[in-house]
Amino acid sequence: MVKQGVALLLALMMLIGAAGPVLAKPVAAPQLSIDVEKSIEVFKAYQTVISRAAATIELEGELAVKVEKIISVDVESLASNPEKLAEMVDEAKEVLKQLAAAVEAKVVLNATKVEAAKLEAVLKAAAQVAEQLGNFSAAEKALELASLAKEGKVEEAKKLAVKVVKRIEAARAVKACELVEDAAAALLECPVKGNESAAEAISRAVVNINVTVKILEAVEEKLKAVNASEHAIEALERAMENLQRTAVILTTVAEKVVMVKLEKAAEAVNVTKQVAVSKAEEELEDLLEKVKELAERAALLRELIANVTEAKLEQLLDKVGSLLENASAALEKAEEAIEESDVGNAMKLLAAARIAVKHAEELLSQVEHLLEKEGKLKEGAESYLEEISEKLEELSELKTEELSELRERAEQLNSSEALQLLEMADELAEKAEKLLKAAQEAVALGNFTAVEELLEQVDDIMEQIAGLLGNAEELLEHLEEAAEKAAEKAEEILEEIEEKLKECSDLKELLEELKEEFGAAADLIEEAEQLLSRASTMLSEAQEAVAQGNFTAAEELLQKASSLLSQVDELVDEIEKAGKSGETAEEELNELKDRAGELKEKIENLKEKVEELKEEFKKNPVALAKLKQAEELLNNAEDLVDKALEKIADKLPEAAEKFLDNAKNLVDKVQEILEELE
């Protein structure tokens, strides 16, 4: 056991030690965008790693020749031969694998032959490494085991050394990962230094990051193979996540640098920060949503395990809760770092949150698997299936009743806008049905997380459908109200048009009679007929306008037709006046004469009455004042009657009639005054 542990420790030290220089000491490269130049950068990185690894052991035989061959290659000379260059990259990769195996085999071989003194020295060296890493408890334990080996208890020391070595290699892995993350953060803060070409510098950084990730992947495999601590493996995962995200950011930056031809270091730094902040904000938002989703999923599972006696489920969910709390705390700090443009620290925190979320999701899957065995998922499945069935029934009723009724109303009102809203609602209903069927399939598979997501989508769609139907209902109500008002308006206008058409008909008949009776007024009759014809045409046009819903035009036409009919009425009056016979005129004048005589007589009688009342009320000044007023009114009335008689003499009946009307009004007022006094 100790042989394997010591070998892995040394291999880890060698490999991790190679990662630092790869990031810290970039190799010269021409341009970012050319595959050959990238291959050259990769080969140089392999040369560096192989050279440092080979220095740790004595090589012999074929492997020594291969290593010397790789180290001595002038890779620049292969730029013109891409195929040969690719072969050399593959060969370097294979040599690195063989070299790693040889190092491990050599150490294992030495470990199997180690004596107590050798073991003691190794354990003391391990103690020094642990102290350097700040793991003082592991250092103390290693020294205790060194003393045990010195006492000759080699087997016992070997057995106990396994755990100590694991602790030290875990601490070394964590420390190395911290250094790697610091290097990645430094690249984001300043990807280009001095007078370097921005494109070349970023190109080298991306190549070196990719090589480092491959190394860390190999280390992770070895640590998992020896069942290393979760802390160490998580540190490696976090470092690799961070490096991969950094590579993505730098690749984006490189594309922008080439596109806008930025060469100055300061410009590249600014672009890097902008891209990093943007990517960090996007990832922050995604991770916050993922944490929320997993927390809801965990809460649901916690409800399902309420009556389950399996303690492991509770422990797993507690661990999930702890991971999500850690993720939330890291995301909160990451948000602060982003606000402060501390992109390096933000990427570290986001990587930590991402790993925590990943492990939380894995644990939740374990819980779901265990719940399946307990049968609890069956209860959950039944509940989900019932909910899905209810929603399907609700959708069916919506489509066959509410949607159908609204569509019928929209078609009656010929509302394309309402029909469009209903079409959208119908499409959403179809989509919801498909999602519910997918949810049924997810229930059958026991994938309740997917079921929850699908049901949430259905709920969102149902809200959208409700909104669309509400808008359609509101629109249709408005249109129906407008249609009702329009119908009332149309009926009102049509009634008025009918009245005017009846008036046209009556006037037409009257004109026919006048034409026969008063042929002398033919010109006036012809003019009236033309006006009547125009009015009839306008009324017909008004009816058409109403049929088309153009009430404004209909009312304008109706008003014009009414005006024309008024003119026809006036012409009819003129025709009648112009066509009256002399006999009719004489009769009218005689009637006016008789009326004037009657008024004269009435005025005389009232004057006598006034004189009588003057005597009666001679001591009543108020009454006398009213009698005086009556006397003046009678005099005025008498003058008006005289004027009427003059107009009658001039054969002006209309003027005479007006004077008589005014005279009568004055007489009536006098009668009122006298009635008050009596």
Interval 585-597: pLDDT, tens: 667 778 888 888 8
Measure the CA–CA gap between 256 and 240, rounded to whole angstroms.
24
351 vs 197: which has the higher pLDDT: 351
pLDDT in tens, 536-553: 888 888 888 888 878 788
Confidence check: pLDDT of 315 > 80? yes
With bands split at pLDDT 50, 70 and 90, how would you rate the model's confidence at 33?
A: very low
With bands split at pLDDT 50, 70 and 90, how would you rate the model's confidence at 306?
A: low
DSSP conformation class of 26: P
Measure the CA–CA gap between 323 and 224, rounded to whole angstroms.
21
227 vs 293: which has the higher pLDDT: 293
Measure the CA–CA gap between 490 and 487, rounded to whole angstroms.
5
Joined together, the tokens standing for residue 388 give 């899905």
Confidence check: pLDDT of 398 > 70? yes
| Predicted local distance difference test score (pLDDT) of residue 311 | 67
Confidence check: pLDDT of 580 > 70? no
| Predicted local distance difference test score (pLDDT) of residue 32 | 34
| Predicted local distance difference test score (pLDDT) of residue 372 | 66
pLDDT in tens, 613-643: 888 888 888 888 888 888 888 888 888 888 8
> CB of 135 within 8 A of CB of 26?
no
HSE value, Cβ hemisphere, 13 Å, CA-based, for 482? 10
| Predicted local distance difference test score (pLDDT) of residue 6 | 39
pLDDT in tens, 188-219: 666 566 556 666 667 677 777 777 777 777 77
> CB of 353 within 8 A of CB of 287?
yes
Confidence check: pLDDT of 380 > 70? no
519 vs 82: which has the higher pLDDT: 82
With bands split at pLDDT 50, 70 and 90, how would you rate the model's confidence at 19?
A: very low
Confidence check: pLDDT of 23 > 50? no
DSSP conformation class of 551: H
Amino acid occupying residue 279: K
> CB of 210 within 8 A of CB of 41?
no
Long-range contacts of 55-61 (CB under 8 A, 24+ apart): 56/10, 56/14, 56/103, 57/102, 57/103, 57/106, 59/102
Confidence check: pLDDT of 28 > 50? no
With bands split at pLDDT 50, 70 and 90, how would you rate the model's confidence at 5?
A: very low
Mean pLDDT throughout 383-390?
Answer: 79
> CB of 168 within 8 A of CB of 223?
no
Mean pLDDT throughout 162-173?
Answer: 69
Of all residues in the chain, the percent with pLDDT exceeding 70 is 73
| Predicted local distance difference test score (pLDDT) of residue 183 | 65
pLDDT in tens, 459-472: 888 888 888 888 88
Mean pLDDT throughout 596-617?
Answer: 87
List C-alpha distances in Å: 238 to 158, 174, 191, 567, 583: 32, 10, 21, 98, 125
Confidence check: pLDDT of 238 > 80? no
Measure the CA–CA gap between 133 and 206, rounded to whole angstroms.
29
State the average pLDDT for the chain: 75
With bands split at pLDDT 50, 70 and 90, how would you rate the model's confidence at 178?
A: low
Confidence check: pLDDT of 95 > 80? yes
With bands split at pLDDT 50, 70 and 90, how would you rate the model's confidence at 120?
A: low
Joined together, the tokens standing for residue 673 give 């005054």
Confidence check: pLDDT of 582 > 50? no
With bands split at pLDDT 50, 70 and 90, how would you rate the model's confidence at 18?
A: very low
> CB of 599 within 8 A of CB of 641?
yes
| Predicted local distance difference test score (pLDDT) of residue 25 | 38
H or E, element range at 491: helix 448-517
Of all residues in the chain, the percent with pLDDT exceeding 90 is 0
Confidence check: pLDDT of 520 > 80? no
Confidence check: pLDDT of 29 > 50? no
> CB of 234 within 8 A of CB of 257?
no
| Predicted local distance difference test score (pLDDT) of residue 261 | 60
Q: What is the pTM for the complete model shown?
A: 0.36
152 vs 677: which has the higher pLDDT: 677
456 vs 180: which has the higher pLDDT: 456
Measure the CA–CA gap between 626 and 312, rounded to whole angstroms.
120
